[in-house]
Amino acid sequence: MKLITHLLRKGLVLSGLALFSYSTLIAQTTTDPESPPPFKRIYHEGELGIIQGNSDGNEGSAFALNVINGYRFSGQLSAGLGIGWQNYDEMDVMPIFLRLSGSLKSSGSTPYVFADTGYGWAWIEDTPEFVRILEENGGVYFRPGIGYSISINNWSLNIFTAWLMQKSSYRYTYDDGWGPDNSEVSEERTRKRFTAGISVRF
């Protein structure tokens, strides 16, 4: 009986010490002016941009939307998964990508760099009457860029610019009245564009 009582007392003492140590650590974290400010581990980001350039085809500017959900490993390094939509003149693309991002400072307004790598599903939006699409495929999506993050309370407004590469391919037939009927054509395209935009992270 004495042994059981001794063990219970020892357990209570150890539990009290553990609770005290934990409360002290929390107090130091929240009150120590020299400790770095806390940051949210999970983040969400919405992005709106414009794609400019014409390395392939006769397309003009394109619009892009991206949504990223990510995790901060530290105040400066983060990674996330994103899904987006890009609207070109003749084709839409839906990229799914991994984002790696690093900032110069762990808090406050700061420059940052990022890189998106993934796959973009592509489909033809509009074709002439004499063209019949047989097959359409996307390809590699890659977008490295730089930006500046403006910290506003618990969220940030980001301004960025980037270089984008999107591969796609498709196979179609056409009958324009000049060549052989139902001539089959296979095309592979690599779009290389500059992009710029804004995003909100919270």
Domain boundaries defined on the chain:
1-35, 42-201
Rounded-to-integer distance, Cα 43 and Cα 21, Å: 30
Query: In the structure encoding, which two tokens stand for residue 16, read together?
Result: 């009290």
Rounded-to-integer distance, Cα 63 and Cα 77, Å: 28
Mean pLDDT along residues 112-129: 90
> Could you tell me the pLDDT band of residue 177, with boundaries at 50, 70 and 90?
low
Q: What is the pLDDT of residues 125-169, one digit of tens each?
A: 777 777 888 889 999 999 999 999 999 988 999 999 999 999 999
Distances (CA, A) of 23 to 10, 11, 31, 80: 20, 18, 12, 32
Q: What is the pLDDT of residues 34-69, one digit of tens each?
A: 555 566 899 999 999 999 876 444 456 788 999 999
Rounded-to-integer distance, Cα 146 and Cα 150, Å: 14
Comparing CA positions, the residue from 156, 194, 199 lying closest to residue 50 is 194
Q: What is the pLDDT of residue 181?
A: 62
**Rg (alpha carbons) of the chain, rounded to whole number:** 27
| 46 against 182, higher pLDDT | 46
Mean pLDDT along residues 73-98: 92
Residues 6+ apart with CB under 8 A from 59: 88, 89, 90
Which of 7-16, 52-61, 103-112, 167-176 is modeled with the greatest confidence? 103-112
Instruction: Give this prediction's pTM.
Output: 0.74
Rounded-to-integer distance, Cα 202 and Cα 174, Å: 49
Q: What is the pLDDT of residue 154?
A: 86
Mean pLDDT over the full length of the chain: 80
Q: What is the CATH number of domain 42-201?
A: 2.40.160.20
Q: What is the pLDDT of residue 54?
A: 61
Q: Give the CA count within 13 Å in the CB-facing half-sphere of 27.
A: 6
Share of the chain above pLDDT 90, in %: 50
